[in-house]
Structure 1
Amino acid sequence: MKKIFLYTIASSFILTACNKFVDVNQNPNDAITVPSKVLLPTTSIGIGWTNANELGRCASILIQYNAGLANSASTYDSYNINDQFNNQWNYELNVGIINNLRTIIKQSSDTDPSYSGIAKIQLAYAFSIMTDLWGDIPYSQNGFGMTYPQPRFDKQEDIYQGNAGLGIQSLFDLIKDGIADLNKNSVLKPGTDDIIYKGDLSKWKKAGNSLILKLANTISKANPTLAKEQINYVLSDANGYITSNDLDLMVPFSTTVGNQNPMYVQDISGSFKNNEMLSSRLITFSKSVNDTVRLNKFFTKPNGKYFVGYNNGAGVTAPTLATRSMYNTYVVGSTGEAPVRLLTNFQMKFILAESVLTLGTTGDAQKLYEDGIKSSMTKAGMTEAEIAKYFQDNPTVVTLSGSNENKIKQIISQKYLAWVGNGIEAYNDYRRTGYPVLEPALNAAGDNNGQIPRRFVYPSTELNANPNVPGVIKTSVNVWWNK
């Protein structure tokens, strides 16, 4: 029998304690229906939590936002990530998010398509996290309980492109189905239970189209024809996409213990705190583009004067806790209330700037590039005067120049800096483009010949339980879209 798991509801604003699950099917003989308005806040928080918890922590270390000092963080920094994410695969993604989204879709599609529409967009995002990190995954048969107790692993190219012969709907079509649901009449509509957009379905439609842009950008080297087709679809769609910072898809957290931003829990308040700090390599990168003002929004200056970083894999005694640069308020808030940012205006600007150069889509790459930088700086809290001064003082940084490849390097480098707080997105871009140029950690090991891993490996629990797993695939093997 399929089980439904709910994150513990802990506040009047339905902000949830995302690291605790409650099995609501206590009696397997009783059928329990959990309303979509109860499930929706749990899936919303679940996606934010999963993005920024251990999967995000690992990606942020691999991409050298942070350096690992102890425990799992130091393991990630040495690239020994062979069996680290059983809980994230099983409970955060499959049980906590995907199962519940499938339930919302099943029970809401006919009468309450406002809920199923949001759920389909969230489902596409959840599956994109999963396939981008692991490659081939259970997709078309995942989340249907005992109908498919050992779900098939679908190829990543089929997940992105669809495969009618195997009954696999593409992620793009899943999102479009969600947007179509949002345009239907709905008996019940979300309100405060939609903790992201408060029931504003027009914003969800823009978020859905923005997710299409993100996914098209991801496969732009593997299938440029499909990528261009999907980008042009969004650019011509009346529903629009995220074009201002106030439309960003962000998952809210609070100062309440149990409801705090997972990165705050990791580093400051949880059981595994103090295991990572700012990478000295990010300091070097920020200085190379003369952008330590924005870095100061992302990381602290413990003495108020300069950053204190640690070299990835250094293996020497770390600075004392009081002298370490760690995440600042933009990323975690003062006491854990910062949101997790999933789809943003700056991201869309950089995506479209890149696609003008690589796919020939319409737009002014230079203006889009500049707007992406400004959007990120504004989001981080820089003033108009600070932004204007940066542009005046750094013309070679803010002006695309040279070959197309050099321009792509500039775009992705700025996108990399803007994504501090979402290591998964930066990790995807790095694997896809090779930018920014990163050297392996000093103590690099793992099964990728000391190079930065190209993917995560399947958890042992799935390898032991599901005969459809493609086998043990090393971190040296590229995912399909990484050409």
Structure 2
Amino acid sequence: MKNKHLLGLALAASLVMSTASCSKDEFLDVNKDPNRTTAIGLPVQLTNIIVSTGFTVGNDIGRVSSLLVQHMAGAINQPATYDVYNIRGAFDNQWNFELYNGTLVNSKRLIDQAELANSPAYAGIGKLLLAYNFALTTDMWGDIPYSQALQGLNNLAPRFDKQEDIYKGNSSKNIKGLIELVREGLADLDKPSALTPSGAADPAYAGNIAKWKQMGNTLLLKLATTMSKREPALAGSIINSAQAGAITTNADDFQVPFGTAVGNRNPLFEYNFVTRQDDQLLSQRLLDSMALRNDPRLPVFFNTTQPRTATVNTTGTITPFGTFTGFQNGANAPLPARIPVTTNTALTNRSRYNVYIRGAQGEAPVRILTNFQRLFILAEATQRNLPGFTPPAGATAQSLYRDAIRASMTKAGITDAAVTAYFTANPAVANLSTNSERALNQILTQKWIAWVGNGYEAYNDFRRTGYPRLALVDNPAGDDPTVIPQRLPYPNTEINANNGAEGLDPNIRTSARVWWAQ
């Protein structure tokens, strides 16, 4: 790979950061420039990073992962292509602009400037956001520019670090891993700070540092669980140490709010209800799974022809949902040429996200780290008996599993009494199997359902566990039609621009598993 152009990727992010002087191997080193004013922009930068993180999770990465885990199905246009595993040549914008020239470089800048301003409250939050967005990047692509990325002109060819090193760190290569980065961010939040975020500057927590600590500990649970197949003992110890400080109520979930104004709407609403109304629909496979379980979240997550609501009475019986119509993943769309959706009978009668997921006018939040996620993680760790992990006092895999379902359902607006009635009326759902693998399948299937609206998290869980058991779509294609894609393909702009990609297979098959899923 000789004579590459200085364009693209983490490289372009390097150019954005060209005014900073950092050491060669540590992306968290800062330029101690006493003449530079840093305090003024911290609130604006924080707002931008939080909102951009939510947008990235809900935009193209969220859409393709929701197709790959069969929450949604692609009817026509780009989603129909993704649905049958044709994903090469896409996602350059997500890599180049949403991540490396977006949330990643901006988080780095926030950290640098907060440290100059003697404001570890901002720096700590910045490190948590940087860790989350780097985790998103490596989870979707595998090996990525990490420890040498975001260094400006000091390094125009950042190497691709191995995913194992990105998660765990590697002192011989001077790589600070994601686990250490999160812990460093949490330590910063315990320090006195000249400036702290407040109000609208922090759309997630309005400057509540205690809640940011909960977010950071929940992020540790997520990272540990993601690598638990490869590193069960390390994962168990991390989960054990972080569980007490994690999110414990739905009200403290880390989610990014959106509004109703054009340019500030939830990306799921913007795509599915404004720009591409007929492209992406409820997967028939998810519909069948939820209907089989009489799941009361179905009419909350998706709309119907009529009526659009359903209730669970005191005996656990569900009033009919109305007509749900899904679309089969990979089906040859039996639809006319693109015409206004109001005149397209075949599409009018198909189900899309309901207001819980996308908002009536785009105001629904993108949900990123949640209380139900914590409970499912603890249920899985207990069921698997991860070494080094001790469940909360008095808790069992069964009790944690039910608590997780309850947290998901009540977050969706189902009353606590209705959830109890649902458990009574549906023992096959409420009670874990005595067979360990079947029980694990139950836990991960319920987590898959709970994550509707966040395909990225469901995609991670499916790739690392194989649960739920998802069949290939109809008419699979892509570079390996026998396997649901396990990663996104690297952008050509990155491969062609970055000498640090030497030795990386630019055409690695999308069926190749990432490190933590092997």
Q: Separation in 2 of the partners of 1:35 and 1:280?
A: 47
Cα distance, 1:386 vs structure 2: 2.2
TM-fit CA distance, 1:385: 3.1
Return 5+ residue gaps in structure 1 as ranges.
6-30
Q: Distance in 2 between matches of 1:277 and 1:145?
A: 42
Contact 2:80 2:279 in 1 (8 A): yes
Tell me what 1:317 maps to.
334
SS at match of 2:241: helix
Query: Aligned equivalents of 2:83 and 2:157: distance in 1?
Result: 33
Of 261, 272, 276, the match for 2:266: 261
How far apart in 2 are the matches of 1:387 and 1:42?
37
The whole-number CA distance in structure 2 between the counterparts of 1:61 and 1:138 is 27
Show CA shifts across 1:174-219 (max 9, x none).
Answer: 0010011111111111012011000000000010000000010001
CA distance, structure 2, for counterparts of residue 389 and residue 53 of structure 1:
36
CA drift at 1:32: 8.9
Written as runs of structure 1 = structure 2, the 5 A alignment for 1:97-246 is: 97-110=103-116, 111-192=118-199, 193-235=201-243, 240-246=245-251
- Provide the C-alpha distance between the structure 2 equivalents of 1:86 and 1:456, rounded to a whole number of angstroms: 10
Read off the aligned partner of 2:253 and give its amino acid letter: D
In 1: Cα distance, 2:272 partner to 2:223 partner = 30
Choose from 82, 85, 99 the match for 1:79: 85
4+ aligned runs moved over 4 Å, structure 1: 31-34
1:301 corresponding residue in structure 2 = 304
The whole-number CA distance in structure 1 between the counterparts of 2:428 and 2:306 is 31
> Structure 2 CA distance, aligned partners of 1:40 and 1:218?
27
Shift of 1:467: 2.3
- C-alpha displacement of 1:389: 1.7
Distance 1:289 1:325 in 2: 18
Contact 1:109-1:181 within 8 A present in 2 as well: no
Aligned to 1:46, the other structure's residue is in SS state helix
For residue 224 of structure 1, report the CA deviation from its aligned partner.
0.7
* Structure 2 residue corresponding to 1:3, chosen from 12, 16, 30: 16
Post-superposition shift, 1:4?
6.7
Distance 1:41 1:273 in 2: 29
State the alpha-carbon separation in 1 of the partners of residues 94 and 486 from structure 2: 18
Give the distance between the partners of 1:212 and 1:396, measured in 2 at CA: 32
CA deviation string 1:284-343 (max 9, x = no partner): 11122221x211100000232120111011103146332120000110011100000000
**Which residue of structure 1 lines up, in the alignment, with residue 382 of structure 2?**
356
Instruction: Note the 1:271-350 alignment, pairs <5 A.
Output: 272-291=276-295, 293-304=296-307, 305-318=322-335, 320-350=346-376
User: Offset at 1:476?
Assistant: 1.1
Q: SS at 1:320's partner residue?
A: helix
Mapped contact 1:265–1:273 kept (Cα < 8 A): no
CA contact (8 A) 2:17 2:152 kept: no
Check conservation: 1:68, 1:76, Cα contact below 8 A. Answer: yes
What does residue 454 of structure 1 align with?
486
Counterpart residue type for residue 290 of structure 1: N
Look up the SS of the partner of 2:255 in the other structure. strand
Contact 1:139 1:153 in 2 (8 A): yes
Give the partner amino acid of 2:390.
T
Q: Which amino acid aligns with 2:91?
A: F
Equivalent position of 2:46 in the other structure? 40
Distance 1:399 1:459 in 2: 45
CA–CA distance in 1 between the matches of 2:323 and 2:154? Answer: 57
How far, CA to CA, are the matches of 2:278 and 2:467 in structure 1? Answer: 28
1:467 — aligned with what? Answer: 499
Count of matched residue pairs: 454
State the structure with more CA Rg: 2
In 2, Cα distance between the equivalents of 1:76 and 1:351? 29
Q: Distance in 2 between matches of 1:395 and 1:73?
A: 37
SS in 1 for 2:517: coil
TM-fit CA distance, 1:373: 0.3
Contact 2:62 2:456 in 1 (8 A): yes
Distance 1:381 1:147 in 2: 51
Equivalent residue number for residue 28 of structure 1: none
How many angstroms apart in 2 are the aligned matches of 1:252 and 1:141? 32
Match of 2:166, as an amino acid?
I
Q: Is the 8 A contact 2:248 2:371 kept in 1?
A: yes
Provide Cα deviations, 1:236-273, integer angstroms capped at 9, x if missing partner: 6xxx1101101100001011111000000110113x33
Q: Which amino acid aligns with 2:513?
A: N
Alpha-carbon distance between aligned partners in 2 of 1:46 and 1:143, rounded to the nearest angstrom: 17
Find the aligned partners of 2:461 and 2:402 in 1 and give their Cα distance: 19
Q: Matches of 2:333 and 2:363 in 1, distance apart?
A: 33
- Distance, in Å, in 2 between the alignment partners of 1:84 and 1:406 is 36
Q: Report 1:41-56 matches (<5 A).
A: 41-56=47-62
Q: Report the residue type matching 2:291 in the other structure.
A: K
**Rounded Cα–Cα distance in structure 1 between residues aligned with 2:263 and 2:128:** 26
Aligned equivalents of 2:419, 2:355: Cα separation in 1: 19
For 2:278 and 2:41, the matched residues in 1 are separated by 39
Matching of residues 393-472 of structure 1 within 5 Å = 393-469=425-501, 470-471=504-505, 472=507
The Cα RMSD (Å) is: 1.7
Distance in 1 (CA, whole Å) between partners of 2:222 and 2:508 is: 26
Report SS of the residue matched to 1:109. helix
CA distance in 1, matches of 2:81, 2:478: 9
Contact 1:448 1:476 in 2 (8 A): yes
Distance 2:496 2:305 in 1: 46
Q: Which residue of 2 aligns with 1:476?
A: 511
- SS of the equivalent of 2:368 reads strand
Deviates more, 1:399-408 or 1:218-227: 399-408
Instruction: Tell me how far apart the structure 1 counterparts of residues 120 and 130 of structure 2 sit (CA, whole Å).
Output: 15
In structure 2, do the counterparts of structure 1 residues 357 and 385 end up closer, same or farther at CA, with 3 Å as the change threshold? closer
Q: What is the aligned-residue identity percentage?
A: 47
2: CA distance, partners of 1:69 / 1:120: 39
What is the distance in 2 between the residues matched to 1:452 and 1:336?
31
C-alpha displacement of 1:170: 1.1
**With structure 1 as the length reference, what TM-score do the two structures score?**
0.91
Query: Residue 148 of structure 1: CA displacement?
Result: 1.8
State whether residues 291 and 298 of structure 2, in contact with CA within 8 Å, keep that contact through their aligned partners in structure 1: no
Normalization by structure 2: what TM-score?
0.85
Q: CA separation in 1, counterparts of 2:353 and 2:37?
A: 42
